[in-house]
């Protein structure tokens, strides 16, 4: 436990928000100074969004300690900012994901992707992730030969690149516009005043550990309830074919089946941020589970981008065929992410705290 | 152990071949009598192929006990017959599989398919097949609504149905032609003489248990060697994306990666038939592993049929898109079958014989 031991809940929350506001303003300055350095600008935007998400999350979880109208208003503005800034990055990573997948499906990528394995965790030792699972000594993957992309895959790649580059350019302009707007300056002003001028409610006078702990627990309960609603038993059965079950349906059922997973992703984030207020550092298991759900979201969005591209008028059948394969591939990544999350979650809930 | 205890190897083999020849000739008579009863004719053809495979398999495994030229010649003719008769059935089951999959992908099938679970085996109790994996109490699969087939899926279904019906009609004519041919009558004559007039080699005079056992073991060793060459470690890692890795490649790498699995399927069959010669009845684990590899083969063939159909000139992009999704779906069934085989095999080799 940190210095929150003897502080009031309001003081501890103000301290955390002060740190995040500092990060927010520092990222903003770096972004302004980045100029032609696009990598620097992207990193500054990422950092800005990270701080904005944490501030917004704290305003949500610890809302009873704050002036609710003020908290809700700032949260809405931070949500607008995050969404606007996130779009450009999302377009870039979607394009990379889809072109990587096309290259893998064409047998032209040198190394096959291991799906949904963002970070090796502590020794889980499950059968599925057992040692040597990818060992080349066992025959391993089929060796790649520099097989040419089929015409369809090449055209599908070009079509996706065109569409996503256009979307990214638009998102970039929108982000620049947002950062120069009066609306943004008002947000930045509010963030600057966060630590010094936090409008607290009476409950904030209570002891930090107890009051913050109770509110964080309530957030955790919302997360656990949402996870309990997920079809984890089905997800635990590999190759259950659930993610693609409406892959050709005309109704939006596919998106509907994704929604509860996206909601768990959101609640897991809130839970992680709430834990940060109580104690510094991130829980590696929660962090990993969050990454898996990020993959879930990215694959779902990418599969939709492939389906959307296939609705382009006058494309060749070979292009449409490649986009169909790509769509199904990404829906299987969605299913793979669900399987991985289910494993993470089982370990997280079964494990005793690491020494 | 059965009556083979005191018999010579030649006598025991002749007894088994006699049984199979009886089945072959009985099926042939039933097929001739079936007339307009297509279900009866199909069942008779299935039974005929089953006997032909067993005779051919025994001629292969126990070849050192027989006149090798005679055995090889009859085996080639039985292979021709089996292949000719199998085609019609394969077209039918491929069509059913693909139309089922299209219906599932369109969200119009009432119950989602559980992949590659042909027969529940003895209590495996693995995490992947754990109890309640499909329990509706846990949220379960997304409920189906009678969502209309998309235009593309409906057209893809019609195209596949047309193509496979044509192929089936051709296969039916070819099978009828084969059964009426002089070549077939020569095969039937050879089979009728199998038991009474088996051309044995000197080694057939040895004791049945020892000699047949040694040859069956040699066959089992070929199977084990072939399984050892399979990338089972990779197959054990669910969602490894290996089966689709050349899904859009212009070279025939996809079929190349399937070949070792098809070869194991063939050797597993030979091993099962060799065991039947030694002792009556089938091993349920081997039988189940064989069914899983049958699924592997059927899914691989179906995925190819979808890809072939997509090469039809002048199809609509929506049709091609649906065929792409279908192709990828079947390649994932291929991957699922590999995962299931790997699990079966691990259990089969780890398990002590059931009491």
Residue A207, phi then psi, degrees to nearest 5: -65, 135
SS3 B118: coil
Element (H, E) at B38: helix B38-61
Judge: domain B3-120+151-350, CATH 1.40.20.10.
yes
Is B255 within 8 Å of chain A by CB? no
pLDDT exceeds cutoff 90 at B32? no
- When pLDDT is cut at 50, 70 and 90, the band that residue A337 belongs to is very high
**Rg of chain A on CA atoms, in Å:** 23
pLDDT exceeds cutoff 90 at B110? no
Q: Which of A109, A153, A238 should be substituted to probe chain B, the one whose Cβ sees the most B Cβ atoms within 10 Å?
A: A238
- When pLDDT is cut at 50, 70 and 90, the band that residue B109 belongs to is low
Per-residue pLDDT reduced to its tens digit, A211-256:
999 999 999 999 999 999 999 999 999 999 889 888 787 666 667 8
Contacts of A105 (CB under 8 A, 6+ apart): A153, A322, A325, A326, A329, B244, B245, B246, B247, B248, B249
Q: Which of A321, A332, A347 should be substituted to probe chain B, the one whose Cβ sees the most B Cβ atoms within 10 Å?
A: A321
Nearest to A328 among B231, B239, B328 (CB): B328
Report CB contact under 8 Å: A115, B240. Answer: yes
The pLDDT, as a whole number, for residue B196 is 82
Would you say the ipTM is above 0.90? no
Q: Classify each residue of A222-231 as buried b or exposed e, where b means 16 or more C-beta atoms within 10 Å of its C-beta.
A: bbeebbeebb
Return the domain boundaries, chain A.
3-120+153-350
Quick check: A272 and A282 in contact, CB under 8 A?
yes
**Residues of chain A contacting residue B153, judged by C-beta atoms under 8 Å apart:** 248
**Residues of chain A contacting residue B315, judged by C-beta atoms under 8 Å apart:** 317
**Residues of chain A contacting residue B98, judged by C-beta atoms under 8 Å apart:** none
Instruction: Please give the structure tokens belonging to residue A82.
Output: 């995050």
Report CB contact under 8 Å: B325, A327. Answer: yes
The pLDDT, as a whole number, for residue A133 is 36
DSSP string, B83-102: HHHHHHHHHHHHHHHHHHHH
Quick check: A322 and A102 in contact, CB under 8 A?
yes
Report CB contact under 8 Å: B321, A324. Answer: yes
Nearest to A142 among B148, B153, B256 (CB): B256
pLDDT exceeds cutoff 60 at B123? no
**Residues of chain B contacting residue A256, judged by C-beta atoms under 8 Å apart:** 142
Report CB contact under 8 Å: B325, A142. Answer: no
Is B226 within 8 Å of chain A by CB? no
The pLDDT, as a whole number, for residue A170 is 97
Report CB contact under 8 Å: B327, A324. Answer: yes
Per-residue pLDDT reduced to its tens digit, B201-231:
999 999 999 999 999 999 999 999 999 999 9
**Residues of chain A contacting residue B230, judged by C-beta atoms under 8 Å apart:** 139
- Please give the C-alpha separations between residue A17 and each of A11, A20, A281, B334, in angstroms, as whole numbers: 10, 5, 15, 52
Query: Which residue did the predictor score with more confidence, B352 or A194?
Result: A194
CA distance A192 to B195: 96
Catalogue the long-range contacts made by B133-138 (C-beta closer than 8 Å, 24 or more residues apart). B133/A233, B133/A234, B133/A236, B133/A237, B134/A233, B134/A234, B134/A237, B135/A233, B138/A231, B138/A232, B138/A233, B138/A234
CA distance B245 to B186: 46
The pLDDT, as a whole number, for residue B4 is 45
Average pLDDT for chain A: 86
Is A336 within 8 Å of chain B by CB? yes
Is A134 within 8 Å of chain B by CB? yes
Is A146 within 8 Å of chain B by CB? no
pLDDT exceeds cutoff 50 at A201? yes
The pLDDT, as a whole number, for residue A254 is 64
Report CB contact under 8 Å: A329, B247. Answer: yes
Of A212, A207, A247, A210, the C-alpha closest to A335 is A247
* Residue A230 CB-half CA count within 13 A: 26
Query: Which residue did the predictor score with more confidence, A127 or B344?
Result: B344
Contacts of B285 (CB under 8 A, 6+ apart): B121, B122, B344, B347, B348, B351
Nearest to B320 among A114, A324, A327 (CB): A324
The least confident of A8-12, A51-55, A295-299, B245-249 is B245-249
Query: Nearest CA to CA, how far is B261 from chain A (Å)?
Result: 13
Query: Nearest CA to CA, how far is B90 from chain A (Å)?
Result: 23
By CB atoms closer than 10 A (0-12, 13-18, 19+), residue B114 is middle
Is B251 within 8 Å of chain A by CB? yes
Nearest to B128 among A141, A236, A246 (CB): A236
Nearest to B237 among A104, A128, A147 (CB): A128
Quick check: A198 and A14 in contact, CB under 8 A?
yes
Structurally, what CATH architecture does the domain formed by A3-120+153-350 represent? Alpha solenoid (1.40)
**Residues of chain B contacting residue A128, judged by C-beta atoms under 8 Å apart:** 128, 236-238
Is A158 within 8 Å of chain B by CB? no
The pLDDT, as a whole number, for residue B233 is 95
Q: Which of A263, A324, A331, A335 should be substituted to probe chain B, the one whose Cβ sees the most B Cβ atoms within 10 Å?
A: A324
Residue B249, phi then psi, degrees to nearest 5: -75, 150
The pLDDT, as a whole number, for residue A145 is 42
CA distance B324 to B172: 29
Report CB contact under 8 Å: A246, B115. Answer: no
Q: Classify each residue of B325-341 as buried b or exposed e, where b means 16 or more C-beta atoms within 10 Å of its C-beta.
A: bbbbbbbbbbbbbbbbb
CA distance A58 to A198: 12
Per-residue pLDDT reduced to its tens digit, A59-102:
999 999 999 999 999 999 999 999 999 999 999 999 999 999 99
Please measure the distance between the N-terminal and C-terminal CA atoms of chain A and give it in whole angstroms. 15
Query: Nearest CA to CA, how far is B54 from chain A (Å)?
Result: 31
CA distance B252 to B264: 20
The pLDDT, as a whole number, for residue B252 is 61
Is A102 within 8 Å of chain B by CB? yes
Query: Nearest CA to CA, how far is B234 from chain A (Å)?
Result: 5
Nearest to B320 among A130, A318, A333 (CB): A318
Q: Which of B151, B317, B330 should be substituted to probe chain A, the one whose Cβ sees the most A Cβ atoms within 10 Å?
A: B317
**Residues of chain B contacting residue A114, judged by C-beta atoms under 8 Å apart:** 237, 240
Among chain B residues, CA nearest to A256:
B142
Is A114 within 8 Å of chain B by CB? yes
Per-residue pLDDT reduced to its tens digit, B53-72:
999 999 999 999 999 999 99
Report CB contact under 8 Å: B329, A232. Answer: no
């Amino acid at each position: 436990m940190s210095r929150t031991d003897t502080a009031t809940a309001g003081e501890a929350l103000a301290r955390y928000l002060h740190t995040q506001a500092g990060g927010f303003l520092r990222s903003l300055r770096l972004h302004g100074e980045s100029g032609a350095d696009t990598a620097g600008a992207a990193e500054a935007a990422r950092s800005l969004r990270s701080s904005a998400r944490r501030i917004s999350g704290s305003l949500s979880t610890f809302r009873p300690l704050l002036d609710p109208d003020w908290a809700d208003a700032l949260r809405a503005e931070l949500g607008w900012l995050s969404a606007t800034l996130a779009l450009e990055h999302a377009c870039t990573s979607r394009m990379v994901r889809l072109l990587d997948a096309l290259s893998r499906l064409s047998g032209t990528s040198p190394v096959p992707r291991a799906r949904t394995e963002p970070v090796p965790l502590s020794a889980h030792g499950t059968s599925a992730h057992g040692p040597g699972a990818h060992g080349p000594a066992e025959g391993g993957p089929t060796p790649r030969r520099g097989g040419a992309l089929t015409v369809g895959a090449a055209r599908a790649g070009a079509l996706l690149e065109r569409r996503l580059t256009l979307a990214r350019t638009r998102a970039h302009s929108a982000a620049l516009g947002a950062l120069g707007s009066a609306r943004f300056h008002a947000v930045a002003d509010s963030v600057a005043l966060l630590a010094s001028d936090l409008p607290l409610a009476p409950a904030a006078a209570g002891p930090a550990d107890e009051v913050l702990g109770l509110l964080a627990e309530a957030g955790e309960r919302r997360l656990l309830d949402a996870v309990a609603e997920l079809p984890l038993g089905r997800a635990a059965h590999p190759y259950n074919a659930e993610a693609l079950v409406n892959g050709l349906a005309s109704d939006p059922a596919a998106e509907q089946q994704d929604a509860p997973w996206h909601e768990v992703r959101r609640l897991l984030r809130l839970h992680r941020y709430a834990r940060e207020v109580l104690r510094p550092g991130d829980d590696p298991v929660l962090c990993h589970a969050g990454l898996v759900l990020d993959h879930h979201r990215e694959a779902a969005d990418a599969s939709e981008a492939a389906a959307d591209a296939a609705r382009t008028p006058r494309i060749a059948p070979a292009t449409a065929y490649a986009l169909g394969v790509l769509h199904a591939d990404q829906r299987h990544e969605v299913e793979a992410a669900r399987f991985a999350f289910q494993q993470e979650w089982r370990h997280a809930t079964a494990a005793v705290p690491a020494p």
